[in-house]
Structure 1
Amino acid sequence: MPAAAAPTKPPRPNPAFDRAARKRAGGPVCGVDEAGRGPWAGPVVVAAVTFPHGVSVRGVADSKVLSPQVRHALYAEIVARADVSVVLASSSRIDAMNIREATLWAMTRAVAGLCERPRLALVDGKDVPKGLACAGEAVIDGDAKSTAIAAASIVAKVTRDRLMQHMALSFPDYGFERHKGYGTKDHQTALACFGPTVHHRRSFRPIRLLLGLDGAEGVPG
């Protein structure tokens, strides 16, 4: 009988990426990432993380490739050892600004909320928010390249999951603790039965259609 294949480890960002960014910037570098752009309900959560010079957390990787248990363990270590700032953009802010602008708004404020102002913010994705407290650099697939961005992805993901679990206590019929606000079949069934909550994003097409509202074109969902 052939031996079982060894479990594959999730890909890790290369620490050299962050070292090069720090050298380029001439000082501290933070990573910025978000969780929750796609769901139909709940906030989008943005985290900014700066590791002090010489400090690292072993095992940090893109939150999407980590198990919940590993994410939670790394979250605790990151917030204990790094400079961390978290900002929420509520569903009402998302509706007022649109999801992209609300996310960029939260990114700007997350960087501003760090205890030490970084020299450079590495932002996951293709956009650099206006009004950052430092220089900014967009990094596509940044959570697979930068340790600081990957750490921010973990903090944002764990924070948002916990918020959605707490939300489920007030709205037990919706299953927020399971789907975290994404448009799953269970979520659609709950919406059809009970209608949207105050936490649902009314600018998103599925919710607008459910409410019989016009102007849903171009909205995620």
Structure 2
Amino acid sequence: MPLAEESPLITELGRWVLREACATIAGLGDADLGVAVNVSARQVRSGELVPDVLGALESSGLPSSRLIVEITESVLLDDSHVIEDLTVLRQLGVRVAIDDFGTGWSSLAYLVGMPVDILKMDQYFLSDVEHDPARRAMCRAVLQLGSSLDLPVIVEGVKDEAVLTLLRDMGHRYLQGYVFARPLEAAQLAAGAWDVQHADTPAVPS
């Protein structure tokens, strides 16, 4: 991926991933399933993101409300056309998430009034969180920040029961990681193969 990011081909690759992801989810026939797609900074800056997303939705028939576009924090620091494009996507019904939140370059001030719907807390914050009070404090701070901005926070990289229990006790509602399921093929997802033992915690399959 780092190599692809350095090449103009990342835009074409991103376009293909968008189309494949939307087509796959639309083809499963489950109206409750959505998909989140990581979009490279180069693709966002290309000015082609809106037509790429529209093309993927139109060709697949997937409702825009079932697509989340994930960007990195640094993209928010770019010129105004990026903000305009993200605003257009949200007006179309597509949600925008900041991936790996807390590890990028953006100031918290950039979140105010930005066209963003979801924060995804980087799994960096979970390293030794069970034994490190500072890490736990940071996790709580990110959750409180999201709450104060009325933005849901998805915690990435939850790998075991102990961390899952700790995060639940902190009040984290949206979690993602191997504790729920490993990455699945489309057929496995359609068959409901992902772990449902934690059904009381909203989860995002990998």
Decide: shared fold, TM above 0.5.
no
The structure whose residues are more often helix, as a share, is: 2
Q: Which has the higher contact order (CA 8 A, sep 6+)?
A: 1
Larger Rg: 1
Structure 1 length-normalised TM = 0.28
